[in-house]
Amino acid sequence: MDKEESSFGPIRSILWPIHRSETKKVLSMLFLFFLLCISYSLLRNLKDTVILTANSSGAAVLPFLKVYGMLPAVFIAAFIYTKLCSKFRREKVFYIVISSFLTYFLTFAFVLYPLGDLLHLSSLETFLTNYLPAGFNGLIGMVCNWSYSLFYVLAELWSVMVLAVLFWGFANDVTSVQEAKRTYGILNIGSNIAPTLGGIVGLIALSNVSLSAAEVPGDAFGQTLVKTILIIACLGSLAMATFYWIQKNVLTKPLSEVTGGGKKKSRLSIRASIRYLLKSRYLCCIAMIVLGYNISINLTDILWKQQLKAHFSDPNEMLAHMYWITIWIGVIATQGSLLFSFIVRRFGWTFVAVLTPLVMTAMAIGFFAFMFCGDALSSISLTLFGLTPTAMTVYFGSTQNCLSKSGKYSIFDSTKELAFLPLDPESRLRGKAAIDGLGSGVGKSGASFLYQGLIISTGSVLAATPFVAVILFVAFTSWIYSVFSLGKQFKQKTAEDTAVSVEPAEAEPQET
Question: Between 14 and 135, whose confidence is greater?
Answer: 135
Per-residue pLDDT averaged across 462-474, rounded?
91
Q: Where are the beta strands (DSSP E) in 412-458?
A: none
Residue 317 lies in a domain: yes
Q: What is the CATH number of the domain that holds 127?
A: 1.20.1250
Listing DSSP states for 231-256 in one string gives HHHHHHHHHHHHHHHHHHHT-SS-HH
Burial 137-169 (b: 16+ CB within 10 A, else e): bbbbbbbbbebbbebbbbbbbbbbbbbebbbeb
146/510 Cα distance (integer angstroms): 77
Residue 141 has pLDDT above 70, yes or no: yes
DSSP one-letter code for 193? H
- What would the pLDDT profile of 48-68 be if each residue is shown by its tens digit? 999 998 887 788 898 899 888
448 is a domain residue: yes
Mean pLDDT computed over 239-259: 77
Write out pLDDT tens, residues 369-427: 888 887 777 777 776 677 788 888 999 999 998 998 888 888 887 788 788 878 877 77
Could you tell me which of 291, 339, 277 has the C-alpha nearest to residue 481?
291
Give the residue from 225, 259, 293 where a domain finishes.
259
| b/e map 288-313, b = 16+ CB within 10 Å | bbbbbbbbbbbbbbbbbbbbbbbbbe
Residue range(s) defining the domain that contains residue 183: 18-259
- Report whether pLDDT(480) > 90: yes
Report pLDDT digits (tens) over 308-341: 988 888 899 999 999 999 999 999 988 887 777 7
Per-residue confidence (pLDDT) for residue 269, from 0 to 100:
55
Query: How many helices, marked H, and strands, marked E, lie in the chain?
Result: 23, 0
In the predicted model, what is the mean pLDDT of residues 478-492?
Answer: 92
Q: Is residue 151 part of a domain?
A: yes
Is there a single domain that holds both residue 92 and residue 213?
yes
Distance from C-alpha of 20 to C-alpha of 8, rounded to nearest angstrom = 11
My answer on whether 358 and 468 are in the same domain is yes
- Does residue 363 share a domain with residue 221? no
In this structure, is residue 415 part of a structural domain? yes
**Residue 208 and residue 352 in one domain:** no
Whether 246 and 364 share a structural domain: no
Answer whether residue 504 is part of any domain. Answer: no
CA distance 231 to 137: 34
Tell me whether residue 366 is exposed, middle or buried, using C-beta atoms within 10 angstroms of its C-beta: 0 to 12, 13 to 18, 19 or more: middle
Distance (Å, rounded) from C-alpha 345 to C-alpha 349?
8
Mean pLDDT of the chain: 82
The answer on 197 and 77 residing in a single domain is yes
Amino acid at 62: L
Of the residues 259, 290, 310, the one at which a domain ends: 259
| Pair (351, 223) in one structural domain | no
Give the pLDDT band (50/70/90) at residue 438: low
DSSP assignment letter at 267: P
| C-beta of residue 51 within 8 angstroms of C-beta of residue 62 | yes
Tell me: do 345 and 233 sit in the same domain: no
Measure the CA–CA gap between 167 and 161, rounded to whole angstroms.
9
Instruction: Report the distance separating Cα 199 and Cα 335, nearest Å.
Output: 17
CA torsion through residues 457, 401, 37, 195, sign: positive
| 226 within some domain | yes
- Do 52 and 143 lie in one domain? The reply is yes
**Cα–Cα dist 303/311, whole Å:** 13
Distance between CA atoms of residues 296 and 286, nearest Å: 15
Identify whether residues 231 and 308 lie together within a single domain: no
For residue 409, the domain's CATH number is: 1.20.1250.20
User: For residues 332 and 410, what is the distance between their CA atoms, to the nearest angstrom?
Assistant: 8
pLDDT surpassing 80 at residue 504: no
pLDDT band at 128 (very low <50, low <70, confident <90, very high): confident
With respect to residue 336, please indicate whether it lies within any of the assigned structural domains: yes
- Tell whether 133 is covered by a domain: yes
Q: Which residue has the higher pLDDT, 410 or 288?
A: 288
CB count within 10 Å of CB 314 equals 11
Let me know whether 467 and 333 are in one domain. Answer: yes
Kindly report, residue by residue over 185-218, the tens digit of the pLDDT: 777 777 888 889 999 999 988 875 555 444 444 5
Buried b vs exposed e over 470-497: b needs ≥16 C-beta within 10 Å?
A: ebbeebbebbbebbebbbebbeeeeeee
Residue with the larger pLDDT of the pair 38 and 177: 38
3-state SS, 385-419, equals CCCCHHHHHHHHHHHHHHHHHHHHHHHHHHHHHHH
What stretches of 250-348 show up as alpha helix (H) in DSSP? 255-258, 270-278, 281-311, 315-347
Q: Highest mean pLDDT range out of 4-18, 140-154, 447-461?
A: 140-154
Calpha distance 198→79 (Å, rounded): 30
Torsion sign across C-alpha atoms 257, 261, 265, 271: positive
Q: How many domains does the chain divide into?
A: 2
Distance CA 295, CA 447 (A): 5
Q: 233 and 300: one domain?
A: no
Which of 231, 259, 287 is the endpoint of a domain?
259
